[in-house]
């Protein structure tokens, strides 16, 4: 049985160039999305990366493909934050610290602000990290409730609602009053405390919230 011939130097060079272009595109997308949000024209991303727009589209055929590539590392950090919050011996402190940390991640990156309120069903690893974060957050919620610190009617679906609210505040105030989001988060966490809890309207059903996030995703794609 004859072995396959080794790749030619020209083939290896093309692979190196392709990987270099990929890294440039992802880095440029992170920068552009972080500064201007995920609606930034992809032609601008290609220009920043120093590649043709055709090269960008060959590697990332849709905006969603590029978004998930650009925010893959940050989504992993998002999932890791929940695991770290679980390690806090004080469940209430861990809960509050996690909500503050995730909202701070939103505030530090205009693109991630939107991505956290969207869903990407075809990006398996991306959504797996989100699912891991959600599962750990659910455990964190139950621990804080068991400790008598978190209001008993808090549900995990409230976190995406918090993130959508924070995204709206950030969009309205980032340029003029960039720390306003901190006040919102302070209000939200005080409202979560069990000793001050008052009855709330019923939360949205998980299916309703998922549909809302899908609608936001489609809205972003339609604008691309």
pLDDT digits (tens, 9 = 90+) for 200-214: 888 878 778 777 766
What does the pLDDT read at residue 206? 77
pLDDT digits (tens, 9 = 90+) for 174-198: 889 999 999 999 999 999 999 888 8
Using DSSP's 3-state secondary structure scheme, residue 56 falls into helix
- What's the alpha-carbon Rg for the chain, to the nearest Å? 21
Q: Which CATH superfamily is domain 9-69 in?
A: Homeodomain-like (1.10.10.60)
What region does 109 belong to: left with phi over 0, alpha with psi -120 to 50, or beta? beta
Contact 79, 130 (CB under 8 A): yes
Residue range(s) of every CATH 1.10.10.60 domain in the chain: 9-69
Residue range(s) of every CATH 1.10.357 domain in the chain: 71-222
Contact 188, 162 (CB under 8 A): yes
- Identify the segments of the chain with pLDDT beneath 50: none
Give the torsion through C-alpha atoms of 18, 28, 51, 127, to 10 deg.
Answer: 50
What does the pLDDT read at residue 119? 84
Pick the CATH number of 71-222 from 1.10.287, 2.40.10, 1.10.357, 1.25.40: 1.10.357
Q: Phi and psi of 121, rounded to 5°?
A: -60, -30
Structure tokens given for 176: 């003029």
């Amino acid at each position: 049985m004859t072995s396959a011939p080794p790749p030619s130097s020209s083939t290896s060079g093309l692979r190196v160039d392709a990987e270099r272009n990929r890294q440039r595109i992802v880095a440029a997308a992170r920068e552009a999305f972080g500064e201007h949000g995920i609606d930034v024209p992809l032609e601008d991303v290609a220009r920043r990366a120093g590649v043709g727009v055709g090269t960008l589209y060959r590697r990332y055929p849709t905006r969603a493909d590029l978004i998930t590539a650009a925010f893959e590392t940050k989504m992993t950090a998002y999932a890791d934050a929940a695991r770290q919050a679980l390690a806090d011996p004080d469940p209430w402190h861990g809960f509050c610290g996690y909500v503050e940390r995730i909202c701070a991640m939103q505030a530090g990156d205009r693109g991630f602000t939107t991505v956290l309120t969207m869903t990407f069903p075809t990006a398996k690893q991306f959504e797996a990290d989100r699912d891991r974060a959600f599962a750990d957050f659910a455990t964190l919620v139950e621990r804080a409730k068991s400790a008598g610190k978190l209001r008993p009617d808090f549900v995990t679906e409230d976190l995406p609602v918090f993130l959508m609210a924070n995204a709206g505040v950030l969009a309205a105030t980032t340029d003029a009053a960039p720390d306003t989001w901190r006040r919102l988060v302070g209000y939200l966490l005080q409202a979560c405390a069990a000793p001050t809890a008052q009855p709330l309207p019923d939360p949205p059903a998980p299916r309703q919230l998922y549909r809302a996030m899908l609608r936001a995703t489609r809205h972003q794609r339609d604008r691309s």
